[in-house]
Structure 1
Amino acid sequence: MTHDHDLVLRPTGAQTEAALNPPAGRNGGDLVVETLAGLGATTVFGLPGQHALGMFDALRRSSLSYVGLRVENNAGFAADAYGRLTGEVAPLLLSTGPGALMSLAALQESAAASAPVLAIGSQVPTAGLGGGRHGYLHELPDQQASFRDIVKSVHTARTQSQIPSAIAAAWESALTAPHGPVWVEIPQDVLLAGTTLPVVTAMDATPDDVVPRPELTAVAADLLSRAARPAIIAGGGVVRSDASGKLLALAEKLNAPVVTTFGGKGAFPWEHPLSLQSWLEDRHTTDFLESADVLLVVGSGLGELSSNYHTFAPRGRVIQIEADPGKLESNHPALGIHADARLALSALLETVSVREDATAADSVRTVLTKVGSRIAAQDLTLEQRVLASVREALPDASPSFWDMTILAYWAWSAFDARHPNTMHSAQGAGGLGYGFPAALGAAAADRTRPVLAVSGDGGAMYSIAELATAKQYELPVTWLIVDDGGYGILREYMKDTFGEATATELSRPDFVALSESFGVPAVRTTPESLTEDLAKALTEPGPSVVVLPAVLRMFAPTHL
């Protein structure tokens, strides 16, 4: 019997010759970038710092493309979007202490949204570790501890020979379903020291598939085939596993209505007769899902937003397919199936019976009509017009990245993403400042199509420095800034709760003039001219900014 690893152990003559005669002038940083390239990375994000300079020096001797942002948290958001869009690991190079810690909010979003980000941070020299010499710049007593509660796994390399294995293990962890961020830490002196180790060549860190147990899918298929009123909730796991086609086929075979969560936007065709769309913050949708006698939940943990703020109380049998075992039955009792969404849906598709139901599409229409009537009664014409203008201006295949702003909250429920993996937001962890730097990361992944970022004026100020990044790399990102003079959604929350808002009103710059000072063309628009101005900006090369002065209101959700 021949094993793959038996073949790896026998180098060719050329490999032996190269290994015995490595090029001069390399350091520990070269082992980092060589390992990344060997694992298949093509683009890295980051921001240099004193202890990490060995890695950044090595970049100029590598084939890797580097995108440098101005703030570490924004670099993390850019890597997050790159990982979401490509499904590949996004390397993020960081320095020690303050530089590393500045990435934590971005890594929290990646963890919540299952984005495969490989953060590689430096550390003080080895003499300062383990209770040794103290007083180094940027020193933390236990830097790893700051990351351990956020990332999937923590890896360290204390010698140069440990670097390739540590990075490969982290890479595999990041890509093991559910995807997520990981942390690798390497001391400054290890990165800077010259090395005579051979050049790192191709490496394999391919994770094993998370395959469903056949006895569980057999029970699930039987329940769904015999159901009188089946329904499906499709979450972000469907998008991440590229399972939208399988979902569509299964829904049609079962005649089961489908609602997509905010993280699963685009997982199911918006206008399909079985599509309940994404109106999760609506009691009509919640009531319908509660009435299902068999509810299939795919790639969602049914968290706060997906459960209408934990008011959702299913009365029927729940089947939950989830790649993260910690989320199985964490909020509702279910037949829990630990599996990749695509593999589990494939198994169900092969085993369920065709289920005839002439009333399913009518039931969907009834729910959507009730939702539409409820929204129409709230006098929200401006908000719906603005969202429709964005949809009209944005090419169908172009990705969009939304900050935590009122227009994004609308988009979660009401925006037709049209394609899977094209609409993303920071709704996983909910941090501000995601939209624009994430869009830059998406543009770095694919420069052939324009990318849209949407922010409020409050969120925009978190990442205004990245206009310099957008211009430096001429990334095709159009940034729509809805300027309402403050933290609009917090203003609404406070007025609703306390009758008056505090600390929500903001002084802000002239965004058009500020953008132009970076060399980025900008225009001030109106709701009437938004479609035209946004469409024009999206067709022009390089970055652009569109500023919409408008006070938008949120539709009233119904939990009860």
Structure 2
Amino acid sequence: MTHDHDLELTPTAAQTEAALNPPAGRNGGDLVVETLHGLGASTVFGLPGQHALGMFDALRRSDLRYVGLRIENNAGFAADAYGRITGEVAPLLLSTGPGALMSLAALQEAAAASAPVLAIGSQVPVAGLGGGRHGYLHELRDQQASFRDVVKSVHTVRTASQIPSAIAAAWESALTAPHGPVWVEIPQDVLLAPTTLPVVTAMDATPRDLVPRPELTAVAADLLAKAERPAIIAGGGVVRSDAAGKLRALAERIDAPVVTTFGGKGAFPWEHPLSLQSWLEDRHTTDFLEDADVLLVVGSGLGELSSNYHTFAPRGRVIQIEADAGKLESNHPALGIHADARLALQALAETVPERTDATAPARVAAVLNAVRERIDAQELTLEQQVLRSVREALPAGSPSFWDMTILAYWAWSAWPGAMHSAQGAGGLGYGFPAALGAAVADPTRPVLAVSGDGGALYSIAELATARQHDLDVTWLIVDDGGYGILREYMTDAFGQATATELSRPDYVALAESFGVPAVRTSPGTLRDDLAKALSAPGPHVVVLPALLRMFAPTHLG
């Protein structure tokens, strides 16, 4: 009996001819770039190194666009943002040892934020593997071990014929919910060895669908239908699975208020009558969520930030939809549904009967008014003015990328809509290199990066990358003379701050030395200076000297 899929496995005469007569001059590196191209990649990020030169030389013979950054960690952040913006796998090419290890902080952020980054690193020659100390440059006893605690999956190659399958398996892993970074390791001599293997053509690495179990969604739909005070917490999983439309349909069907976590910003319309926005560090919001008799948590593990620093104690029934099985019921007992957010929300929207609650918008408005009154009572006019100026300057639809800085902490709660930050793992230096990756992903819109002066020093080298590739990124540096958040934390905890004050450069002059236009602004001129920079082509830097304060926390009751 002949099946359709059998016919697909039979090569055509032209395919056979091409396979039997591969072009000369190819090596293992060519198999890498051919596989990436066959999987659908168009752009790769990275930084070359001695053992990885086989891959980088092969780029010369491919159609892939290479964007090289100046530090591996920043290349990882750029790939992370590319994956977040496109929803596609972002290849990251690295060298052995120091080069590979420099990417770990970026890969930790990609793991925390579920960004599909495919890191391909080189290794010492095969003869040097196995735990011995052979004296190769960059050699580690067990390089993979450094990545196993960070990435979703590790894939090793020891022969050229393993390259396409290993990369395809890693690609599938990166795109299977929950998305995340993966690691592929290929020895130097395998990358450099000539090959007569056929050119890699189309590869199939379709991610597996993570479908909810129907008996669980039936129970969840019944709970929501019978709830008197349902509420929804929407996390980053809603954004990553492109499920905002499904979430809105469900919320409107059952009149359930929705709060978005800091990683889930953009999952629900900010000004919607059912939107509680993102004031998760406010006790008014926490109290409202605790009072829900049925709480639907979608795409969030209810970790530290999403649970108001673990003070959140729900009194009602919790339903948790989560693609990462390890996060199911990890913080609160729940009806745990292991599934992709989009598929689970679709199943619920199709199953739950319509429920009407005319009081929901008024209850939402009451919470938001209470939050607003609390903030207004703290005399934080400057901070709100600065954030408002940034928002007004950024064109609609343009993405923003935020470093771990006081203005970003404000934005997590107060920024209206989608934003991208390093709040998953919390490392410094994310904002600017991530914005570069986003500009590569979509060159039709200007991109905003926001850093403090401390975080900016992690990323200064990438001004050269921005200029070299002429990327439309405007970098706002809020200069308060040190690590502002740590200064506040230490002053609150110990009465004074230590190791937080920084000698820093003249950022305007420094940017101009890279050929990047820069301006020093003030709170009064910030909006116009930012808008002007964002409307002009190429990279720009705007420096705002300002000492901003955080709003007072209310997780202590």
**1:338 aligns to what?**
338
Cα gap change, 1:221/1:527 in structure 2, threshold over 3 Å: closer, same or farther? same
Say yes or no: does 1:13 pair with 2:13: yes
In the TM superposition, residue 4 of structure 1 has moved relative to its aligned partner by: 6.2
Report 1:91-170 matches (<5 A).
91-131=91-131, 134-170=134-170
Report 1:35-74 matches (<5 A).
35-74=35-74
Give the Cα–Cα distance (whole angstroms) in 2 for the partners of residues 252 and 195 of structure 1: 58
Q: Of residues 477, 489, 492 in structure 1, which corresponds to 2:485?
A: 489
Cα-Cα RMSD: 0.9
Gaps in structure 2 of 5+ consecutive residues: none
In the TM superposition, residue 3 of structure 1 has moved relative to its aligned partner by: 5.6
Query: Structure 1 counterpart of 2:469, which letter?
Result: Y
> What are the Cα deviations for residues 107-132 of structure 1, in whole angstroms up to 9, with x where unaligned?
00001000000000000001101146
SS in 2 for 1:219: helix
Q: Note if contact 1:236-1:261 (Cα within 8 Å) is conserved in structure 2.
A: yes
SS in 1 for 2:180: coil
Q: Note if contact 2:132-2:141 (Cα within 8 Å) is conserved in structure 1.
A: no
**2:541 aligns to what?**
545
Q: Note if contact 2:119-2:184 (Cα within 8 Å) is conserved in structure 1.
A: yes
Q: Note if contact 1:257-1:364 (Cα within 8 Å) is conserved in structure 2.
A: yes
**2:496 aligns to what?**
500
Give the Cα–Cα distance (whole angstroms) in 2 for the partners of residues 272 and 189 of structure 1: 58
SS in 1 for 2:544: strand
Q: Note if contact 2:404-2:423 (Cα within 8 Å) is conserved in structure 1.
A: yes
**1:239 aligns to what?**
239
In the TM superposition, residue 5 of structure 1 has moved relative to its aligned partner by: 4.7
Q: Note if contact 1:127-1:133 (Cα within 8 Å) is conserved in structure 2.
A: no
SS in 2 for 1:556: coil
In the TM superposition, residue 492 of structure 1 has moved relative to its aligned partner by: 0.3
Give the Cα–Cα distance (whole angstroms) in 1 for the partners of residues 87 and 246 of structure 2: 18
Query: Structure 1 counterpart of 2:121, which letter?
Result: G
Give the Cα–Cα distance (whole angstroms) in 2 for the partners of residues 178 and 20 of structure 1: 40
Cα gap change, 1:133/1:427 in structure 2, threshold over 3 Å: closer, same or farther? closer
SS in 2 for 1:440: helix
**1:281 aligns to what?**
281
Say yes or no: does 1:438 pair with 2:439: no
**2:378 aligns to what?**
378
Say yes or no: does 1:463 pair with 2:459: yes
Give the Cα–Cα distance (whole angstroms) in 2 for the partners of residues 498 and 208 of structure 1: 50
SS in 1 for 2:136: coil
Moved more, 33-42 or 130-139: 130-139
Give the Cα–Cα distance (whole angstroms) in 1 for the partners of residues 108 and 232 of structure 2: 28
> What are the Cα deviations for residues 272-324 of structure 1, in whole angstroms up to 9, with x where unaligned?
11100000001000000000000000010000000000000000000000111
Say yes or no: does 1:531 pair with 2:523: no
Give the TM-score of the pair, scaled to structure 1: 0.98
Give the Cα–Cα distance (whole angstroms) in 2 for the partners of residues 355 and 148 of structure 1: 46
Give the Cα–Cα distance (whole angstroms) in 2 for the partners of residues 227 and 46 of structure 1: 51
Give the Cα–Cα distance (whole angstroms) in 2 for the partners of residues 483 and 353 of structure 1: 53
Q: Note if contact 2:133-2:141 (Cα within 8 Å) is conserved in structure 1.
A: no
Give the Cα–Cα distance (whole angstroms) in 2 for the partners of residues 446 and 77 of structure 1: 16
In the TM superposition, residue 7 of structure 1 has moved relative to its aligned partner by: 3.2
In the TM superposition, residue 396 of structure 1 has moved relative to its aligned partner by: 1.6
**1:360 aligns to what?**
360
> What are the Cα deviations for residues 178-207 of structure 1, in whole angstroms up to 9, with x where unaligned?
000000000000001111111000000001
Gaps in structure 1 of 5+ consecutive residues: none
SS in 1 for 2:428: coil
Query: Structure 1 counterpart of 2:462, which letter?
Result: E
**2:194 aligns to what?**
194
SS in 2 for 1:88: coil
Cα gap change, 1:506/1:338 in structure 2, threshold over 3 Å: closer, same or farther? same
SS in 2 for 1:459: helix
Give the Cα–Cα distance (whole angstroms) in 1 for the partners of residues 249 and 292 of structure 2: 20
In the TM superposition, residue 423 of structure 1 has moved relative to its aligned partner by: 1.1
Q: Note if contact 1:282-1:371 (Cα within 8 Å) is conserved in structure 2.
A: yes
* Same amino acid, percent of matched pairs: 87
Q: Note if contact 2:234-2:299 (Cα within 8 Å) is conserved in structure 1.
A: yes
> What are the Cα deviations for residues 39-75 of structure 1, in whole angstroms up to 9, with x where unaligned?
0000000000000000000001001000000000000
Query: Structure 2 counterpart of 1:534, which letter?
Result: L
Give the Cα–Cα distance (whole angstroms) in 1 for the partners of residues 342 and 331 of structure 2: 22
> What are the Cα deviations for residues 220-241 of structure 1, in whole angstroms up to 9, with x where unaligned?
0111011000000000111111
**1:205 aligns to what?**
205
Give the TM-score of the pair, scaled to structure 2: 0.99
Give the Cα–Cα distance (whole angstroms) in 1 for the partners of residues 270 and 190 of structure 2: 52
Give the Cα–Cα distance (whole angstroms) in 1 for the partners of residues 409 and 24 of structure 2: 54
Give the Cα–Cα distance (whole angstroms) in 1 for the partners of residues 145 and 126 of structure 2: 17
> What are the Cα deviations for residues 512-540 of structure 1, in whole angstroms up to 9, with x where unaligned?
00000000000111100111000010011
In the TM superposition, residue 8 of structure 1 has moved relative to its aligned partner by: 3.6
Give the Cα–Cα distance (whole angstroms) in 2 for the partners of residues 182 and 120 of structure 1: 8
**2:394 aligns to what?**
394
Cα gap change, 1:274/1:205 in structure 2, threshold over 3 Å: closer, same or farther? same
Give the Cα–Cα distance (whole angstroms) in 2 for the partners of residues 439 and 215 of structure 1: 42
Give the Cα–Cα distance (whole angstroms) in 2 for the partners of residues 32 and 403 of structure 1: 33
Query: Structure 2 counterpart of 1:543, which letter?
Result: P
**2:249 aligns to what?**
249
SS in 1 for 2:358: coil
Q: Note if contact 2:77-2:106 (Cα within 8 Å) is conserved in structure 1.
A: yes
Give the Cα–Cα distance (whole angstroms) in 2 for the partners of residues 171 and 260 of structure 1: 29
SS in 2 for 1:264: coil
**1:175 aligns to what?**
175
SS in 2 for 1:198: coil
SS in 2 for 1:305: coil
SS in 1 for 2:36: helix
SS in 2 for 1:262: coil
In the TM superposition, residue 354 of structure 1 has moved relative to its aligned partner by: 1.3
Q: Note if contact 1:117-1:174 (Cα within 8 Å) is conserved in structure 2.
A: yes
Give the Cα–Cα distance (whole angstroms) in 2 for the partners of residues 478 and 176 of structure 1: 33
Q: Note if contact 2:27-2:195 (Cα within 8 Å) is conserved in structure 1.
A: yes
Q: Note if contact 2:131-2:142 (Cα within 8 Å) is conserved in structure 1.
A: no
